[in-house]
A = this chain, B = another copy of it.
């Protein structure tokens, strides 16, 4: 049975929470062992928890906030837009709001994550801008 829509939404919230405050290990643990990520779409696909952990480790020590903007769930999948602000200098944040699609397995682990965004979508400024 695919995950219920409420459970899909809860897992996306948990993912964003851990991207903001968790370790790369904690984020990677949300993914199935053979999971794939393509971020942004068109770039090389990373496969397996080791490579996925490595991807999140890049941002692990950065100060950042995340915020869910909108989410639609069906058939054990989520399509959502979220905002992520990363501190790039003191009190200066790089902010973007990608669209993502996540496919969950029946155990609630992320099987695949794909993110659509372009460098042009990035804005630089004080937090909240």
Q: For residue A76, which residues in chain B have a CB less than 8 angstroms away from its CB?
A: 42
Return the contact of A79 from the options B5, B73, B77, B101 (Cβ within 8 A).
B101
Return the contact of A5 from the options B69, B73, B98, B118 (Cβ within 8 A).
B118
Q: For residue A70, which residues in chain B have a CB less than 8 angstroms away from its CB?
A: 69-70, 81, 97, 99
Cβ-defined contact, B120 with A5, below 8 A? yes
Query: How many residues on A have C-beta within 8 angstroms of the other chain's C-beta atoms?
Result: 27
Cβ-defined contact, B2 with A75, below 8 A? no
Residue of B nearest to A103 (CB): B41
Cβ-defined contact, A118 with B79, below 8 A? no
Q: For residue A81, which residues in chain B have a CB less than 8 angstroms away from its CB?
A: 70, 72, 81, 99
Q: For residue A121, which residues in chain B have a CB less than 8 angstroms away from its CB?
A: 72
A59 contacts B by Cβ under 8 Å: no
A28 contacts B by Cβ under 8 Å: no
Cβ-defined contact, B42 with A2, below 8 A? yes
Give chain A interface residues in 29-72, CB to chain B under 8 Å.
Answer: 40-42, 69-70, 72
Residues of A at the B interface (CB closer than 8 Å) are: 2, 5, 40-42, 69-70, 72-81, 97-101, 116-118, 120-121
